[in-house]
Amino acid sequence: MAQIQRSPEIYDVVVVGSGAGGGTSVRVLTEHGLKCALLEAGPMLDVNKEFKEHEWPHDVGHRGAEDGGAAYFGKGKPFGYFSTTSGGWELDGEPYTVGEGSEFRWFRSRIIGGRTNHYGRMSFRFSPYDFQPYSKDGLGWDWPLTYDEIAPYYDKAEKFVGVTGSNHNDLPSAPNGQFLKPPQPKVHEMLIKSSCDKLGIICIPNRRAIVTEPMKGRIPCHYCGQCGRGCRTASAYSSSQVEIFPAMKSGRLKVFDNAMVREVTTDGNGKATGVIYIDKTTRREKHIRAKAVILAASSCESSRILLNSKTKDFPNGVANGSGVVGRFLMDTVGFGLSGYVPALEGMPKYNTDGFGGAHLYMPWWLWDKHNKLDFPRGYHIEIGGGYGMPGIGSFQGAARRAGYGKGIKEIARKEYGASIGFAGRGEMIPNVHSYCEIDKGVVDKWGIPVLKFHFKWSDYEWKQARHMEKTFADIITTMGGRVTGLSAAQREADGISTPGTIIHEVGTTRMGVKPTESALNKYCQAHEVKNLFVVDGGFFVSNPDKNPTLTINAFAWRSADYLAEEMRKGNV
């Protein structure tokens, strides 16, 4: 075999993965004066080529149907031609397997900035009670720290990435934060709020990582409404534009793109020495050496790297003496319901784009009523509706009913904007049946053993989804509307999202107090390897209904500050 090419330079820190955790890490560490290497499995991001937020369907001959109408889980761009993503649930040459009787879809992003280039940017703090779930109801585990310990870093993260919202002192499920002024609600959202008020459901301004006033070279959102396509102005937060590119300009960060990491290397004395990766351009194996290693490749990818890093000192994989790496995999519970509201028919048309998503949302409103529910924990509700950009197939219903000609136009104009949708995002309780492991019989095209997934929703999650279904139907009917159908992203047979499709997978390298029961300590530092950290969603102990990115930002920042100080003291 050809000798692995070693980097002549030893970096202070090598970071694997360029999403929220990796981007935050390199920004903070370079600000501390440390020299970093950042490895990303995808290409460098060119925002002018990749982002299409200002293109119209008529700008391209296929009108946005480049993939010929591939299914939601098909190959290629999973969210359509105009979306920004180098990745998806199925990647050529990079398979994964699923255990018998399980179902799981693993989304992987392959580009500088990762999922932050196109994610929904919902930015919710965990609540104080979210850090002690076991103490509350005896399920799962408590986190090894309290809300008060991480709150200062929530403050830092919100101020830096720019999060809109409003404070409500009497709302335990949505703690106060450092918010920018939120945009005004849209007409259909005001009608939804009126319905929620009648039902006792709390409805407040949404909290999203989109700036509404100038911030450090970022201009305020201009409300083009196309956040899922990327944002050339960086008004919508992405780690690529807001953290990595500025860190590169500091001269203390070197980016290695198209670098597929295989394993963490160690020295036999309990220290990490760097990572081995495959240069996807030359197909050569290379070794980046560093004084400390940070994994931020996504919860499952980081677990794959650790599990593939076997040595005589770490026979079960680096930092896996506890055996929890890959275990207790969680995704967010998802359920969607759509409705048609006659009161919205024939309204004067106006621009409802806003900042690319709902201006209101419903945080969990029954935190103190669980003695009346048949499931633990809770969920929040996200809203869809308005006059979105019509795309291929937008008016198929009108065509089926009217055939062709004037009838189609009349129905389309009447019904355009009268449909609404609700998406529930709820907490999953960790269970022993949901995990990922190395499939010893399958490798990807780079020769790296792949992951095999096992997953099971419990009765807790199924009952929670049923509560979502009834709640959404009640809101729709209270508005004078009718339920029209389930969302496309779920299986009607089970009435719950297909595992993995909410793209909130977390929990595979969880933190904890005891090294026998956890992989990391409360600083995301490996118990067994003091110069190894994991700052993606893998460190999560539980998976509250809050979207995970803001919490990853906050913990990665805290971890980077801790690592820099430990290196200054000579402890790492």
pLDDT digits (tens, 9 = 90+) for 459-514: 999 999 999 999 999 999 999 999 998 755 454 456 899 999 999 999 999 999 99
Decide if pLDDT at 534 tops 50: yes
pLDDT at 67: 56
User: Range(s) for CATH 3.50.50.60 in the chain?
Assistant: 1-55+95-145+230-332+433-457+506-572
What mean pLDDT value characterizes the chain? 93
Q: What is the pLDDT of residues 11-36, one digit of tens each?
A: 999 999 999 999 999 999 999 999 99
Superfamily of domain 1-55+95-145+230-332+433-457+506-572: FAD/NAD(P)-binding domain (3.50.50.60)
- What are the backbone dihedrals phi and psi of residue 254, each rounded to the nearest 5 degrees, phi first? -115, 125
Torsion angles phi and psi, residue 273, rounded to 5: -115, -5
SS3 204: strand
Rounded to an integer, what is the distance from CA 506 to the centroid of its chain? Answer: 9
Q: Token pair for residue 308?
A: 């593939």
pLDDT top residue among 478 and 64: 478
Alpha-carbon distance 360 to 192, whole Å? 9
Residue 149 pLDDT exceeds 60: yes
Which pLDDT band, with edges at 50, 70 and 90, does 2 fall under? low
- The pLDDT value recorded for residue 85 is 63
**Whole-prediction pTM:** 0.95
Number of other residues whose CB lies within 10 A of the CB of residue 134:
13
pLDDT score for 77: 67
Average pLDDT over residues 104-116: 95
- Amino acid (one-letter) located at 409: K
Share of the chain above pLDDT 70, in %: 95
Q: Of 189-198, 384-393, 560-569, which range is least confident? A: 384-393
Over 60: is that where the pLDDT of 338 sits?
Answer: yes
Residue 68, pLDDT > 50, answer: no
Least confident of 42-51, 68-77, 225-234: 68-77
pLDDT in tens, 427-458: 999 999 999 999 999 999 999 999 999 999 99
- Residue range(s) of every CATH 3.30.410 domain in the chain: 165-205+333-426+458-498
Check pLDDT > 90 for residue 84.
Answer: no
For the stretch 200-213, pLDDT in tens is: 999 999 999 999 99
Q: Is the pLDDT of residue 76 over 60?
A: no
Q: Is the pLDDT of residue 114 over 70?
A: yes
Please give the pLDDT value at position 71. Answer: 40
- Give the residue-averaged pLDDT of 58-63: 83
pLDDT at 256 over 80: yes
User: Which has more pLDDT, 520 or 65?
Assistant: 520
**Structure tokens given for 232:** 């050339």
Separation between Cα atoms, residue 205 and residue 110, nearest integer Å? 32
Residue 461: Cβ within 10 Å count: 29
Structure tokens at 9: 């330079």
pLDDT attached to residue 403:
76
The per-residue pLDDT for 55 is: 84
Mean pLDDT within 294-310: 98
For every residue of 276-343, DSSP letters joined together read EEEETTTTEEEEEEEEEEEE-S-HHHHHHHHHT---SS-TT-TT-TTS-TT-S-B--EEEEEEEE-GG
* pLDDT of 73: 42
Task: Name the token pair of 295.
Answer: 């994994």
- pLDDT of 66 reads 67
Q: Calculate the CA 216 to chain-centre distance.
A: 24
Question: So what's the architecture of 165-205+333-426+458-498 in CATH?
Answer: 2-Layer Sandwich (3.30)
DSSP state of 526: B
